[in-house]
Chain A
């Protein structure tokens, strides 16, 4: 009897912590959402209200009319999607060669590429800046996209996947007279769909949330991406400013920038998880 009581207590405790985890994770998101719908006077009311008394869209219209918000969103989406497509294409081509072809320097080249996993992105920022400044490409979408295409993770994930494909599958195609491109396109790519989805999500997310390079490479407001644009709401500098900070519009902007990512995440959750496990393996 005593033992059973103890077991029940433990279960109760576990549920308590489970609920605590959910609440702690969600409360800032919920608070942002609630605040976004509060009119200016209400947001600073004390004690804080969890239900807006006079819910309003005014914060959203303020953000959309006073800031280039739609433009930032467009830049963010376009640069992340285009980078993702380029990365999948060129990485899967290269990974196929590394995994399945014999050529001089295969190993050496591959180790050079993998070694760059250790080199932090910061060391490339100044040279990249000089390079794009020289080509007069600062403040363009091209500058936001191109540096991502040199990524290493995608090649690493896809190469390890292509290596795991049984040779029998390829032999049959070779006997049928299929060339390398055919094999890559109609055998390897369909097989690799889960890995490709993972690479797609990793690439999209890293571009979507990227901050340092967009901050450096873009100075005109119309070319900004969402993360940089949103950082502006507080001047990008210390939170101490003369006038009261405008939390309402800031929360509306934060919410608008967050909804797409959370929606994508909820729909593609299992690919996110897979993607993370694959980045984990690389360590």
Chain B
């Protein structure tokens, strides 16, 4: 404690020990161990054989892995812009003085509390090629039934739609908090100076929202790169690996083929990608920040 010196030196450790045991045993330890496993060839039965970075070299020659990587990036391309821009637009909408805006906030966020696999099951039914309600309504627009989940071209967009529906409320809440932190006087002042709504948004709101935007983009990148459960339920990675994602490939290699070393290497590649995303975003936003 600050000031008083009488407290015993070991008291802090008493407070720390229960958590530190859990942290080192179940979080830190396994993370480090995972790296060492990734340096071995290890099929659960039998001995682990040290292969250095052999697994990583093999990974980047493995067409299925490359495919899963490309698929995941494609999934991000479909979801990240909609989740970030859409989240911001919805937040701005429910920030307006409209009747029922709190109801709208509740409804938009509600899907987020549903389990990932349940989300998968619900949308599996909506996307059903023959009896699905989506194809029925699209029929009114003159669109022929789409075999959503069994079509190589449409399976990934379908998973993306389900994911945007599921998680956009999360980004809305973050943006809403950011918007409400912006003092109203600033916008008023700009308006009195004759700025149009668009100018107020572009020159006042957006720059002041930057810290929130950074966080939202970062969390969205991290979460979408790790997409797994929806895909597992909706398509199982098919048709013909059109929706196989990186985390799923890691799961398949580790726990269906029991190639523990190879699976761990994939996990570490996931880690590396997250670090790269964060670095790129930091760099990009730094430049953006300097200019404005």
Chain A interface SS verdict (over half): helix
Contact between B229 and A211 (Cβ–Cβ < 8 Å)?
yes
Contact between B29 and A227 (Cβ–Cβ < 8 Å)?
no
Contact between A32 and B117 (Cβ–Cβ < 8 Å)?
no
A1 within 8 Å of B by Cβ?
Answer: no
Which residues on A sit within 8 Å (CB–CB) of B76? Answer: none
Which of B29, B228, B275 meets A211, CB within 8 Å?
B228
Please encode chain B, from 251 to 268, with 1 for each CB lying within 8 Å of some chain A CB and 0 for all others: 100110000100110111
B226 within 8 Å of A by Cβ?
Answer: yes
A3 within 8 Å of B by Cβ?
Answer: no
Contact between A97 and B15 (Cβ–Cβ < 8 Å)?
yes
Contact between B28 and A112 (Cβ–Cβ < 8 Å)?
yes
Q: Report the bound CA distance from A29 to B28 in whole Å.
A: 39
Contact between A94 and B101 (Cβ–Cβ < 8 Å)?
no
Q: Flag the segment in A52-60, A119-127, A190-198 that touches B.
A: A119-127
Known contacts A212-B228, A239-B149; is A170 also within 8 Å of B19 by CB? no
Interface size of B as a range: 35 or more
Which residues on B sit within 8 Å (CB–CB) of A245? Answer: 124, 128
Contact between A89 and B18 (Cβ–Cβ < 8 Å)?
yes
A101 within 8 Å of B by Cβ?
Answer: yes
Which residues on B sit within 8 Å (CB–CB) of A184? Answer: 15
B290 CB, nearest partner CB in chain A, Å: 21
Q: Whose C-beta in chain A lies nearest to the C-beta of B259?
A: A126
Contact between A123 and B31 (Cβ–Cβ < 8 Å)?
yes
B61 within 8 Å of A by Cβ?
Answer: no
Contact between B96 and A240 (Cβ–Cβ < 8 Å)?
no
Which residues on A sit within 8 Å (CB–CB) of B27? Answer: 116, 124, 147, 150-152
Q: Report the bound CA distance from A68 to B254 in whole Å.
A: 27
Q: Whose C-beta in chain B lies nearest to the C-beta of A257?
A: B118
Contact between A94 and B235 (Cβ–Cβ < 8 Å)?
no
B209 CB, nearest partner CB in chain A, Å: 13
Which residues on A sit within 8 Å (CB–CB) of B34? Answer: 123-127
Which residues on A sit within 8 Å (CB–CB) of B75? Answer: none
Q: Which of B244-292 contact A (CB under 8 A)?
A: 247, 250-251, 254-255, 260, 263-264, 266-268, 270-271, 274-275, 278
Q: Report the bound CA distance from A15 to B131 in whole Å.
A: 32
Q: Report the bound CA distance from A71 to B264 in whole Å.
A: 32
Known contacts A44-B131, A126-B254, A211-B117; is A276 also within 8 Å of B170 by CB? yes
B212 within 8 Å of A by Cβ?
Answer: yes
Which residues on B sit within 8 Å (CB–CB) of A160? Answer: none
Which residues on B sit within 8 Å (CB–CB) of A43? Answer: 131
Contact between B90 and A238 (Cβ–Cβ < 8 Å)?
no
A28 within 8 Å of B by Cβ?
Answer: yes
B289 CB, nearest partner CB in chain A, Å: 16
Known contacts A94-B18, A125-B254; is A261 also within 8 Å of B115 by CB? yes
Question: Residues of A at under 8 Å CB distance from B?
Answer: 11, 14-15, 17-18, 21-22, 24-26, 28-29, 31-32, 35, 43-44, 46-48, 86, 89-91, 93-94, 96-98, 100-103, 106, 109, 112-113, 116, 118-120, 122-131, 146-152, 155, 167, 170-171, 174, 180, 184, 205, 208-209, 211-212, 215-216, 226-228, 230-231, 233-234, 236-240, 245, 247, 250-251, 253-254, 257-258, 261-262, 264-266, 269, 272-273, 276-277, 279-281, 283
